[in-house]
Chain A
Amino acid sequence: MEKRLATDKRKFSMLCTILLVLLIVLFFASIRTGTMNIPFPQIWSAFFGSDVGNQRMTLFEFRLPRIVLAMLIGAGIAVSGGILQSISRNPLADPGIIGVNAGASFSVVLYTFFFKGTAFLAGVVSIFVMPFFALTGAFLSAILVYLLAKKGGSVAPGRLVLTGIGLNAAFNAATTVLQMKMDPQDFTKTLTWISGSIWATNWDYVLVTLAWLVVLLPFAIYKARYLNIMRLDEPVITGLGVPLEKERLKLLGTAVGLAGCCVAVGGGITFLGLIAPHIARGIMGTKHEFSLPLTALIGANILLLADTVGRVVIPSMELPVGIVISILGAPYFIYLLIRTA
């Protein structure tokens, strides 16, 4: 047993190192590419030497915050998905099942509908208005799912999933009705948002998202041992002396907080929350104290890669990052599915 733990630990630290190196490589690749390629010597001199052609602003005000944000959102969504798959005991779960995405999308579409699209990327006020609406929508619908699924003081995983399905359907229906009444321009904007894109970046978003993650990610990893036992039968868990409902609520709250803050600035990027935990479990096994940190790193890597690819693949336009994730991630996920037993 101890020997096994030691091998696990060695494997874990090796995988962490590999993923961190990969993330750093991606970071440098991402900062130099874009509509305008900036070679490394110029990046160096823009920050530390003479700033030729105002490149410091491009780098520092646009690229750098976007890169950092991509890594943060990736880690947050991925861990949220990992937690939810364990709580709901459903391998198909992603942050969408507790209504976070549907609620946020509905809220954003409602806002765009009433304020006629002036909201996107315009003015100082709107910087925080959109994420605020998205966050409120996400939290409200998650709370609604929780309250509706709660019965006799307990939230059975099956009932949670079913209630999530129902509320998702309702919010999506309402979103569709509103979208149909929009003019094509607003429609495309909201569709881009729903598909998931890091649609606006500045350091304020980075700081706010970072503040959420700094609290919630370590907490999730600290609670990993409770996630390990969630797949047992409920009487067994209670028999082990675990206050099941309390721990479940804490973990659910963590997952909702992570997904909510990420959805607010990143839009609907749920597929990442589905695949990243599966990839982590595929290479590391089911122990959450190891697989959750790896899930975070894998999520950060995938989202940064997808965002970079989305920026450069079609020169005239930006592909929503959620779409790139599906196009890049699905084939790899399918490969994993075929390979592992």
Chain B
Amino acid sequence: MAKAHTSKAVHRVQDQPYKKRLAYFILGFGWIFIILAVAGSIQLGASNVGYTTVWKSLFFYDANNSAHVVIHELRLPRAIAALCVGAGLAVSGSVMQGMTRNPLASPSILGVTSGSLFLMAIAYAFFPGISYKSLIFISFAGAGLGAALVFLITALSRGGNTTVKLALAGSAVTSLLSALSTAIGLRFNISKDLSYWYAGGVSSVQSSQLKYVIPAIIAGVIIAIAISRAVTILSLGEEIAKGLGQNTVFVYIAGIVAVLLLTGAAVSIAGMIGFVGLVIPHITRFLVGSDYSLIIPCSAILGALLLIIADDAAKMINAPFETPVGAVTAIIGVPFFLYLARREGGGL
């Protein structure tokens, strides 16, 4: 049994060569698509501005030109936020799935999003006039609270399979915290307010928020890339990783820190965009194989790309109203995901 398992695991590591080429293609040319998408995103909106204006506003900024101000204060922060959120969620989802070896694992399973939502609900219920800026910090604190609970429970329970326990503790905490938030929402009649945040989106991001978020995302991605080789080994199984002399506890802690930074930052500006963190890692794995030192950077690019395209679509579908971007990412991504799931089967 154990032997069969190992040979299966070894087989999975040896991916077909075309997948590696595809990974290098994504890493090499993904940037071009992202730049094109950002340009498109800046140009699109309630009032369309021409590309020349976009160009001028970036390099020859004129504070008296209203189009330039719109681009600097609204469109550019929004596009950058979409990139950060997409990349952050996708990378933290990849790390989660690699560490827990469970296809149902997503960043939200670490209790991060639900913790955030929980403190947000309390803030809305008891301090109705709270400023947007303090909400960012509340949401970050909530993300930390949720992750700390999950981590504490996993650490307290000795023995057994750590990855399964982590996943189960995560879903228990998530369920508990979201239930409490829904109860608060229903009791204080704020569920509709909460739901806008719950649906997620980057439409109201301001440049002042970005200066807290960008460093957190960059730090998280760097940690994730640094441990990516260890995650590949861990994804073969905890016993195998330990047998190969890996310090699994250290990898878990580093992974959790990365997930917390990435998800906490993403959730604090964009609310709950669940789909990206769950599905982009799968799509990336289908495309580039099972080596996490390729999956993690590629998922960052694909996540950023999906979210910015979805955000453009969210602006246009029901203009001038915004459609929840989480819903749009799902509608764009699901058909592709289903196709790949069918073609590639279930391996993780």
User: Which A residues have a C-beta under 8 Å from some C-beta of B?
Assistant: 90-93, 97, 148-149, 151, 156-163, 165-167, 169-170, 172-174, 176-177, 179-180, 184, 187-188, 191-192, 195, 233, 271, 274-275, 278, 314, 317, 319-320, 322-327, 329-331, 333-334, 337-341
Contact = CB atoms under 8 A, between A and B. Distances in A.
Contact of B330 (A172, A322, A340): A172
Report, as a range, how many residues of chain B touch the other chain.
35 or more
A173 B156 contact: no
Contact of B160 (A148, A170, A187, A341): A341
B321 to A, nearest CB: 9
B348 A158 contact: yes
A232 B25 CA distance: 39
Contacts of B165: 337
Contact of B167 (A92, A167, A339): A92
A177 B196 CA distance: 11
Contacts of B104: 90, 92-93, 97, 161, 165
A338 B172 CA distance: 12
Interface of B: 4, 102-105, 153, 156-160, 164-165, 167-169, 171-173, 175-176, 178-180, 182-183, 185-187, 191-192, 195-196, 199, 274-275, 278-279, 282, 323-324, 326-331, 333-334, 337-338, 341-342, 345-348
A318 to B, nearest CB: 9
A324 B183 CA distance: 9
Given A188-B186, A191-B185, A330-B173, 4 more contacts: A159-B346, A184-B192, A187-B192, A341-B158
Contacts of A331: 176
Given A173-B330, A323-B179, A148 B342 contact: yes
B175 A271 contact: yes
Contacts of B330: 169-170, 172-173
Given A320-B186, A326-B178, A191 B278 contact: no
Contact of B327 (A92, A160, A173, A322): A173
Contact of B199 (A148, A149, A176): A176
A336 to B, nearest CB: 9
Contacts of B102: 90, 92
12 contacts: A90-B102, A93-B104, A148-B338, A162-B346, A169-B334, A176-B324, A180-B323, A187-B195, A233-B4, A317-B186, A329-B175, A330-B176
Nearest to B157: A338
Contacts of B4: 233
Contacts of A157: 346
Contacts of A322: 179
B168 A169 contact: no
A176 B103 contact: no
A161 B101 CA distance: 13
A91 B168 contact: yes
B122 to A, nearest CB: 15
Contacts of A169: 274-275, 278-279, 330, 333-334, 337
B342 A151 contact: yes
Nearest to B149: A334
